[in-house]
Amino acid sequence: MVRIPPSHPRYVSLMLRERIVEGYRKGLVVLEGLIAHGRGEAFDYILGEKTHWFAEEAMRAAVALMLLSKHPVISVNGNTAALVPGDIVRLAEAVGARIEVNLFYRTKEREEAIARILREHGAQEVLGVGDDASATIPELHSERRRVSPRGILVADTVLVPLEDGDRTEALRRMGKNVIAIDLNPFSRTAQMASITIVDNVVRSVPRMVELAHEFRGLEEEVLRRIVSGYDNRRILGEAIRTIRLRLDELAEKGVFVEAGDYA
Ligand code: ATP
Ligand code: MG
């Protein structure tokens, strides 16, 4: 792995890039995943590489919804497994969700490599591997249509970090709640999801684990109110407005004035 000095002004971003490249070398991530990561980086740069209030609000609704759901499932792809395997396992435990591997570019080696890393991080069970992905989502033509009959097929709520737009749409048509984590508020995934967390998975998944522990003791009624008071249109609008305000600010003050303010 390339050594990046912690003093480098782009340290965090470069480390994440290295983690994705490492994930590629280990057979978790595909080349297309590197491109997807680059697009995420660009949006994160514009957003100031921090978690904004609109993402926090979406995460609160998402965690409440997962705690209320009968059968929540966390769908994991290569990039997610490379970036936040431990946090995915902790979130699944904290909200009582199952974990399922779901890949656009599916090979047996890759699904097994992803399941292995999740197990190394403490997952008891990983669905969607090999023959377990025996059910299909109607009207979906990519490999992402293959799902586990014990997981996504029967889920009422699916958390999809870094999802594909087509499948988000197909899952919604099946009547499921879809929670997306996507730095691009314009993507079809972001626009089609029931709850969209416009934030980096490396910040949002650990934050969701914290929220899950905080919310676990709450009455169902309180959780229901958090979910029913949530409006995804408004939150997506706020994310887009924040991008516009950030661009105005950067145009006026200069891009690098803000660089120390990213944490
Ligand atoms: P869609 O299929 O939803 O229309 P797309 O085809 O434009 O979207 P994909 O390649 O399918 O994009 O998905 C990659 C998405 O994941 C991009 O929107 C990108 O911004 C986002 N993304 C990449 N890395 C991260 C990350 N670390 N955290 C959050 N989002 C990310
Ligand atoms: Mg896509």
CATH assignment at residue 95:
3.40.50.12640
Average pLDDT over residues 115-144: 94
Domain count across the chain = 1
What is the pLDDT at residue 260? 44
Q: Is residue 156 part of a domain?
A: yes
Give the chain's mean pLDDT: 94
Average pLDDT over residues 222-249: 97
Q: Is residue 21 part of a domain?
A: no
DSSP for the chain reads -----TTSTTHHHHHHHHHHHHHHHTTSS-HHHHHHHHHHHHHHHHHTSS--HHHHHHHHHHHHHHHH-SSEEEEE-HHHHHH-HHHHHHHHHHHT-EEEE--SS--HHHHHHHHHHHHHTT-S-EESSGGG--EE-TT--SGGGEE-TTTGGG-SEEEEET--HHHHHHHHHTT-EEEEE-S-TTSHHHHHSSEEE-S-HHHHHHHHHHHHHHHTTS-HHHHHHHHHT--HHHHHHHHHHHHHHHHHHHHHH-GGGGGGG--
Q: Is residue 28 part of a domain?
A: no
Domain that includes residue 72, residue range: 53-238
Q: Is residue 244 part of a domain?
A: no
Distance 26 CA to ligand 1 centre (A): 21
Give the global pTM. Answer: 0.95
Write the pLDDT tens digit of every residue in 42-90.
999 999 999 999 999 999 999 999 999 999 999 999 999 999 999 999 9
Q: Is residue 5 part of a domain?
A: no
Q: Is residue 33 part of a domain?
A: no
- Which residues form ligand 1's pocket by a CB distance below 6 Å? 36-37, 39-40, 43, 83, 162, 164-165, 181-184, 187-189, 200-201
Q: Residue 30 — very low, low, confident or very high, per pLDDT cuts 50/70/90? A: very high
Q: Is residue 229 part of a domain?
A: yes
Pocket perturbation via mutation, ligand 1, pick of 13, 16, 39, 160 by most ligand atoms within 8 A of CB: 39
Q: Is residue 201 part of a domain?
A: yes
What is the pLDDT at residue 190? 97
Inform me whether the pLDDT recorded for 1 exceeds 80: no
